[in-house]
Structure 1
Amino acid sequence: MRRLVTIAAPLMVAAITPLLVGAAPCGSSGGARTAAPPSGPYTVGVIDTDTQGRVFTDTNFLVLYHDDADNAATGSFDCVTGCLKLYHPLLTQPGATLTMPPGVVGTLGAVVRPDGVGDQVTINGFPVYTFSGDQPGDTGGLTPSWHAVTAPVRLPGLAGG
């Protein structure tokens, strides 16, 4: 059993590392991020989890979540003040170029949060967050209204997919 863990860990890191090139870091633990996010090209990562399947992550392999009550299109954010102590918005620089990992279907964007925290990354229109209690690959932020953001992969040879 020990040998399998020793071999599997480097293979997992090698398999997901290319998906994280240029990824934007998430806010620090202990509350909403206060420092300016770095500039440059941004990409989210993708990993396979035991419980949620393939999901998006930040550069630290922290799973990204969305809140059912957030509606970026209307500027309505449910996760403000106290919520930001548990869920940290994935922030980006205004006007930054956001790119999806190769082979992953979806749309990256950004929306200005009405509470002044900053520009938050969106995936398929959902503002995304990390959970303060998670370690890389964990999905401890799941609740009835908080969901891991799934990452569909484009299958070779399928039109439109």
Structure 2
Amino acid sequence: MTVSRRAALFAASGAAVAALVAGCGSSGSSGSGSAASTVPAAPSAPSSGSGTATGSGTGQSTGATVLKTASSAYGTIVTDGNGFTLYRFDHDTASPPASNCNGGCATLWPPVVATGGTPQLKGIDAKLVSTVTRADGTRQVTLNGWPLYRYSQDSKPGDTKGQGFGGIWFVTAPNGSKITAAASPSGGSSGGSSGGGYGY
């Protein structure tokens, strides 16, 4: 192999590695009260709604964000306007509110982003609802200080597949507390995944 051909192959390999690293990077800077993720990107997950009554599955909506209560195998929980279960993350903080799920984590666990002005609430105390600025500058809805998320693997309203995920993700009660009790014997879509090798 000639020196020039060897140099060309080396340059092409370097470009491919650089592209791969850039594609797997997490969000670079943190916003107010937010920390950037240091975990690897998750595998592609289905797109999820924004927690709005008219969510299109893309995170874009003209309607206001909706939070409501619903009955589940874990008791009364909080859902978005489409009935999808909302979760909280043990690596976040409530005082002060901070979201620490960015990059690949936010792909697997899409944040509930505030849209359309004042959130519409059903069965939830308005005094407990606010927002926190994420690392990417978007405003994430909080409940009693805790940022709220969907789980991308919940495929239909009422699913609770993210419950207990990695021992750090839990369904949310109407007062913002996490529900750690086991599901009732009557059933329900429970999770309890070990996290599948992803630390979020």
Structure 1 partner of 2:61: 38
Structure 1 partner of 2:174: 151
Report 1:126-137 matches (<5 A). 126-134=146-154, 135-137=156-158
How far did residue 80 of structure 1 move?
A: 0.8
Report 1:20-31 matches (<5 A). 23-24=52-53, 28=57
Structure 2 partner of 1:53: 75
Structure 1 partner of 2:136: 115
Instruction: Note if contact 1:99-1:108 (Cα within 8 Å) is conserved in structure 2.
Output: no
How far did residue 111 of structure 1 move?
A: 1.4
C-alpha RMSD of the superposition: 2.7
Quote the sequence identity (%): 31
In structure 2, list runs of 5 or more residues that go unmatched: 1-51, 176-200
Task: Output one character per residue of 1:88-136: Cα deviation in whole Å (capped at 9) or x when no partner.
Answer: 1111138x212431x43461111111233x1111111111000011121
- Which TM-score applies when normalising by structure 1? 0.63
How many correspondences in the alignment? Answer: 121
For 1:43 and 1:77, locate their aligned partners in 2 and report how far apart those are by CA, in whole Å: 20
Q: Does 1:104 align with 2:124?
A: yes
For 1:78 and 1:123, locate their aligned partners in 2 and report how far apart those are by CA, in whole Å: 15
Instruction: Note if contact 2:96-2:145 (Cα within 8 Å) is conserved in structure 1.
Output: no
Letter in 1 for 2:124: V
Higher strand share: 1
- Which TM-score applies when normalising by structure 2? 0.52
For 1:73 and 1:24, locate their aligned partners in 2 and report how far apart those are by CA, in whole Å: 28
Structure having the higher Rg = 2
